[in-house]
Amino acid sequence: MVRIGVLLPAASPRAGELLADVSALDAAGAHAVLVEGSGPESFVLLAAAAAITRHIKVGCIKGEVFAAGAFATLSWISGDRAMVFARGQPPERLTVQGVEPAEVWVEIAMPIDRMAWTETLAAQALAGAAGLIVPWIRAWSTSCATRTRTRTVPTCRCPQAERRRIRLAPAKAQLVRSAMA
């Protein structure tokens, strides 16, 4: 079975919402959340994610700077749920470090619907991928929606705004649940 990892944005002006999304991913059954880079700021975000979740693994895609001590602390905070990935050739292929036999994960664009998820999962399983890494896409944008305290209200009639009326975290959790089904 191909596992799903979600690549979080490197920086977010709304850290609380990002962590709420991570909690929703944990509840939905995603295998891992990742950040690009392995500097101290990446480990702070991952430690916060590990502190609010129970099952999801937290990991980084190894960059030029790697703080081994910070990774050891993250592993301790997360209860040994920490992972380190290294980019391969081509760059969208990643391997999990410290795992034997080597696991190959593939970074892909977010499939647009359930059928696309099903086809992608089947194709990657046949190709021997252990997991897929998809980018975390915001469920709303400031260009076509206004964020209120409890929901996103469309300010235009474009299809994106119409789809984004529901709350951020449950919509993303449903997307991940549909991929896991």
Task: Specify the pLDDT at position 13.
Answer: 76
Q: What is the mean pLDDT of residues 142-152?
A: 45
Q: Indicate if the pLDDT at residue 74 is higher than 60.
A: yes
The neighbour count for residue 59, using CB atoms within 10 Å, is: 30
| pLDDT 10s digits, 45-61 | 999 999 999 999 999 98
Task: Specify the pLDDT at position 23.
Answer: 92
What is the CATH code for 3-139+171-180? 3.20.20.70
CB 82 within 8 A of CB 66: no
Task: Specify the pLDDT at position 167.
Answer: 41
Facing residues of 93 across strands? 106
Facing residues of 106 across strands? 93, 132
Is 97 strand, coil or helix? coil
Facing residues of 79 across strands? none
Query: What pTM was estimated for this model as a whole?
Result: 0.73
Task: Specify the pLDDT at position 32.
Answer: 94
Q: What is the mean pLDDT of residues 19-34?
A: 93
CB 180 within 8 A of CB 25: no
Q: Average model confidence (pLDDT) for the chain?
A: 79
Q: Which of 101-107's residues contact partners 24+ apart within 8 Å by CB, and which partners?
A: 103/130, 103/131, 104/128, 104/129, 104/130, 105/5, 105/129, 105/130, 105/131, 105/132, 105/133, 106/131, 106/132, 106/133, 107/7, 107/132, 107/133, 107/134
List the chain domain ranges. 3-139+171-180
Residue 40 host element (H or E): helix 40-52
- Paired tokens of 83: 């992972």
